[in-house]
Amino acid sequence: MSSHSIFTRIINRELPSYTVCEDMENIAFLDINPLRRGHILIVPKLEVDNIFSLNEKSYNSLFFFAKRVAINMKKKITCNRIGMSVVGLDVPHAHIHLIPINSFEDMNFNKSPLKLTEEEMLNICQLLKFTA
């Protein structure tokens, strides 16, 4: 059994994902327990538990990458904004949630996640996929 986080296992292609985009330092993939259709996780390839433990270069790279993904999302999903959240309690690997939102309630992590089919996830992934 691997001692790496689930995100590192996705990055290493040990686990499947709905990858939307990646560059040398970061990866973006659909959250499998989304709050809204198009909910994406932005993850540094460097496994660090706390986002504020990233070195400055990795931290800046992560947020710049997140901005590019969010701009792409806004072009392709009808919503008022792309919300961003860094919670850091669910997986011991730094990550950012990007969520298409129309109200504050759309970012309520206490709500039950959507149950999307494999086909729906693939369609959303295809819609949002782009090259960084």
**Residues 6+ positions from 26 with CB-CB distance below 8 Å:** 42, 43, 44, 45, 61, 62, 65
| pLDDT per residue rounded down to tens, the chain (132 residues) | 458 999 999 999 999 999 999 999 999 999 999 999 999 999 999 999 999 999 999 999 999 999 999 999 999 999 999 999 999 888 999 999 999 999 999 999 999 999 999 999 999 999 999 987
Question: Among this protein's residues, is 4 annotated catalytic?
Answer: no
Residue from 4, 39, 93, 95 carrying the catalytic annotation: 95
Residue/partner pairs of 45-53 with CB below 8 Å, 24 or more apart: 45/11, 47/4, 47/5, 47/7, 47/8, 47/93, 48/93, 48/94, 49/88, 49/92, 49/93, 49/94, 50/88, 50/94, 51/86, 51/88, 51/94, 51/95, 51/96, 53/94
